[in-house]
Amino acid sequence: MAAADSGYTTGAGRDDTDLRRRNVASYENANGQHVYKVDAEDVKKLKIQKKSGILEILDEWEFIIAPIVFTAFALFTRLWKIGLSPIVTWDEAHFGKFGSHYLKREFYFDVHPPLGKMLVGLSGYLAGYNGSFEFKSGETYPEGVNYTFMRIFNALFGAVTIPLTYYTARELNFKRPAVWLMTLMVLCENSYATISRFILLDSMLLCFTFTTVLCWARFHRLQHKSFSIEWFAWLFLTGLSIGCVCSVKWVGLFATALVGLYTAEDLWNKFGDLKMPKTELAAHVVARVGGLIVIPMLVYMFSFYLHFLILENSGPGDAQMSSLFQANLRGTEVGKDSPLEIALGSRVTIKNMGYGGGLLHSHVQTYPEGSGQQQITCYHHKDANNDWFFYPNRSQPEFDPEAPLSFVADKQVVRLVHAQTGRNLHSHSVAAPVTKADYEVSCYGNLTVGDEKDHWKVEVVSDAASSDRSRIRTLTTAFRLRHTELGCYLRAGTVNLPQWGFKQIETTCAKNASPRDVYTHWNVESHVNERLPPGEAKNYRSPFFKDFIHLNVAMMTSNNALVPDPDKQDDLASQFWQWPILHVGLRMCSWDDSITKYFLLGNPLVYWGSTASLGVAGLIVLWYLIRWQRGYDELRQTDIDQIHYSGIYPLIGWFFHYLPFVMMGRVTYVHHYYPALYFAILVSGFCVDWMTRPLNKTVRWGVYSILYAATIGLFVLFSPIVFGMQGPNKNYAYLRWFNRWRISDA
């Protein structure tokens, strides 16, 4: 109405209490209505009420508006200039190549579970990539590889961690300023932003770690609604997240341990509740076994099922698998045209049937201790040093290639002669180099020089294709080799030799080997004998569960072999103590002035603040324990629960994700700390939230404003290491606060 627009309002239909009226002049308008002039103070009051209404709406819908805003900034920090560097950067050389294998459907081997790498392959498929690029480190991407799309695909997992952090903090019952602080710390953590921008597994690992914590926190909040649909849904989602994070990297097992500890405590408390019926307690146990054990295992196994299903062609990782598995791959040479039955004079490769087993191998290098004779190992790479001849024992006439064929039979005593060096497989009463309880196995002598310690008795264990176990057959016959003089069995376990043995698998003669010990079982993988006809191609399937265990043990064995080499300097490697104090970063590529450079380094406030909070949280818990012991009863049950689940559990999560790297001997890098860092951020949020609760609102918001500004400011300051440093690295010398931060050579 015009009158209202000009600072007037009519009295018709108005509540006298809406506005405070003055005794002012009025007049009648053309319609005969009384019009009152509104006081300026009333106009101001209307504006305040309108403003207050907007704030109430924002406050009411903050749980939707805030994460949307944070996610928008997350997308910017993770995606801006993501395709700036056109070269293969850091571990893109590994994981991009693994993605290529999925697109070419070639079997490969890696120490990590397959889910993350299958997702990398999916990103390549969606990008229209055909898998032909080799992803050599430092190489420029060709035009046919849409690396920008593949990086964006990975970066989205990193962007999702920001709203996940927001909702996790809400579920942990933090006040709004603390929720925003933790979300901002993850958003502005430079290392998280950097590592999310490349074709790596870490953004997926972090994403599924965050979902696991969120689902656990939400499930805990629903304890008062046990067995409701929502309760079951979040229990299922927790198990699903555990399965996913473990299927990307085994680091996910530490998140599993955290949820497992919570579950054990929760069930123990329910067990102590005498009012709870036993049937209800049993239902809780069954539900958790199904949701937190069965579902994660099914997800983990399903990722391997897809892995085997997709990788149907022979590839570079064949040798890590059993002979039967390899024989079923398309394009394989294993079993191809191999004669069926083994005869004296046959040239063979012999595969250990233990999980992760390799091929019986020797080379000219000798043992540095013990007998000093030629080394015997098991080795996964296929070369001529894996070839052996079956020869008669020394009590029999020398092998005559023109004599009638003599097939190797069960209980027969034979010699195994190394094809490349002509030495005999040999054992003696000398302790093995690593497993001292076993005897050393070596290569000794030649065709004419030797003794009875070169003799091995063949003992057939089983045959996958025939009930006739009288002879040794290619691929299908499992047999043991018993040393005739010592009574021990040829064995290859999961122990790796030191560097002098090239980290290959130690092979020994085990004194007390059980007949069921699969590491003493062997089979012939390849077989060459020109006097025998090629065998008929038959499809002997390898059971999935056996292949699943076999590959996982092989992954574990190879992972344990990733130890630092004292003879080499790895400028990228770092030690566990350096991570929480931000002592070191990592150059992700060449530091040439002509290329775009990236440096993995965290936000100083996030790192140092979160590390300090670990000690502060411990002191808070200790303080209240002492006061409780002294008889002070100042904490309500809600306060105790807040300390317990929002402070102590994140602290335990940090320990679970950090301490294993303190104890393990494998080579480590700064990005191994990133899952633990998230729990440290949660702990820091708890400390700030708890310590600012007694403050009045103005002071509290003042403290948070300083933390917000510092977090954002430091991210912006160090943003060149995230978005790419172009030009001479000396231009970024101002970021090198310490000598160990090798951002610049200046």
Give the pLDDT score at 560.
Answer: 77
Distances (CA, A) of 546 to 11, 181, 356, 467: 87, 48, 11, 21
Tokens of 233: 């849904």
Domains of the chain: 2-60 (no CATH), 64-305+579-735 (no CATH), 337-560 (2.80.10.50)
Nearest CA-CA partner of 659 in 265, 208, 251, 206: 251
Contact predicate 454/428, CB 8 Å: no
DSSP string, 440-475: EEEEE--SSS--GGG-EEEEEEEESS-S--SB-BTT
How far is the C-alpha of 491 from the C-alpha of 503, rounded, in Å? 17
10: Cβ–Cβ under 8 A, 6 or more apart, which residues? 1, 3, 4, 33, 34, 35, 36
How far is the C-alpha of 679 from the C-alpha of 216, rounded, in Å? 14
Nearest CA-CA partner of 579 in 550, 559, 608: 608
Q: Which parts of the chain register pLDDT below 70?
A: 1-52, 537-539, 564-570
Give the pLDDT score at 447.
Answer: 84
Contact predicate 743/599, CB 8 Å: yes
Nearest CA-CA partner of 137 in 175, 204, 87: 87
Q: How does DSSP classify residue 321?
A: S
Nearest CA-CA partner of 36 in 1, 66, 4: 4
Q: What is the pLDDT of residues 20-64, one digit of tens each?
A: 444 545 555 555 555 555 566 665 665 556 556 787 888 889 999
Give the pLDDT score at 471.
Answer: 92
Q: Which secondary structure element, helix H or strand E, spans residue 229, and what is its range? A: helix 229-248
Nearest CA-CA partner of 190 in 571, 582, 575: 582
Contact predicate 96/145, CB 8 Å: no
DSSP string, 519-567: GG-EEEEEEE-TTSPPPPP---PPPHHHHHHHHHHHHHHHHHT----TT
Give the pLDDT score at 31.
Answer: 55
Give the pLDDT score at 48.
Answer: 58
Q: What is the pLDDT of residues 487-522, one digit of tens each?
A: 999 999 888 899 999 989 999 999 989 999 999 999
Instruction: Please count the helices (runs of H) and the strands (runs of E) in the chain.
Output: 21, 17
User: Counting every residue, how long is the chain?
Assistant: 746
